[in-house]
Amino acid sequence: MKIAFYPGCSNHGTSREYEMSTRAVFKDLSIELEEVPDWVCCAASPGHHHSKLLSISLGAYNLLQAKPMNLPVLTTCAACYARLSATNYELKHDPELAAKVSQTIEDTYDGSVPVRHIVDFLFDDLGLKEIEKKVHRPLEGLKVACYYGCLLTRPPDYATVDDTEEPRKMERILESIGAEPVDWSHRTECCGAAFPFSRVDIVEKLAAEILVAATKAGADCIAVVCPMCNANLDMRQGGASRIAGRKLRIPIVYLTELIGLAYGHKPKDLGLNLHLVTTKSVSARFV
């Protein structure tokens, strides 16, 4: 199986471990990732607040680069997924905006390239049985809080999650590799997205609420599927601890890193050594 891959900026920089673990897992699953040529930044969450035309134009440009590949476009980042999906939706529903976008990118894109987030691809397109087949080392006894954040579930006009309020795709994927998802309250709460650039206090407050909720639920770690979520929850645990009035120290790991552990990969090969909060309490159990 082959799929077009839009890595986005973070996978080539601050979330290198996300791409490392994704490529390792997809190789095990015999899925070839063909990178979209000449891609550019999707503008993530700040872009559409600054300029809707800019945001949709960047999305249209990227999907136009992928169109000759005749493949769905996979992204691992929830922000990239949201912006590319928004592009398809807006171009199909707003002819006036579509005309302006065509002028901006000096070409025409019709919103026809399918966009898939990695969670949807693994759950819907690949299937749990295929994921389970490659498990060599089930993650038995590992309690995981699945964190979706905002951008996979909202807005419902183009989100493809199974339930906007109570999604369960990540939980079922983790169950298929032997882990134990915990029931908790903050799986779809916002982590602050790009606010670290302007209001760190907001991010630390939101992170504190999320980290406390996962800790109270008995989670050994929090599984994320977005580089921004990972950065906010991993990087801000010091400030979050001050706000919570208690020490918060819980590993934040990518879903693909957990799958990679279950598939028998060494923690270092998955990038588990690259996190700020140590992940050894997770990885040491399965080596």
Query: Hey, where are the domains in the chain?
Result: 2-118, 136-286
pLDDT band at 77 (very low <50, low <70, confident <90, very high): very high
**146 pairs with which residues across the strands?**
223
Better-scored residue on pLDDT, 14 or 134: 134
Average pLDDT of 35-54? 84
The fold for domain 2-118 equals: Glutathione S-transferase Yfyf (Class Pi); Chain A, domain 2 (1.20.1050)
Confidence (pLDDT) at 48: 62
The 3-state DSSP class for residue 145 equals strand
pLDDT over 70 (residue 243)? yes
As a whole number, the mean pLDDT across the chain is 93
pLDDT tens-digit series, residues 112-147: 999 999 999 999 999 999 999 999 999 999 999 999
Better-scored residue on pLDDT, 44 or 238: 238
Does domain 136-286 fall into CATH 3.40.50.11810? yes
Number of alpha carbons in the 13 Å side-chain half-sphere of residue 201: 0
Query: What global pTM score does this model have?
Result: 0.95
Confidence (pLDDT) at 163: 78
Average pLDDT of 1-30? 94
Average pLDDT of 270-278? 97
As a whole-number percent, the residues of the chain with pLDDT over 70 amount to 97
| Contact (Cβ atoms closer than 8 angstroms) between residue 235 and residue 270 | no
Measure Cα distances from 274 to 15, 28, 229 in Å: 9, 22, 15
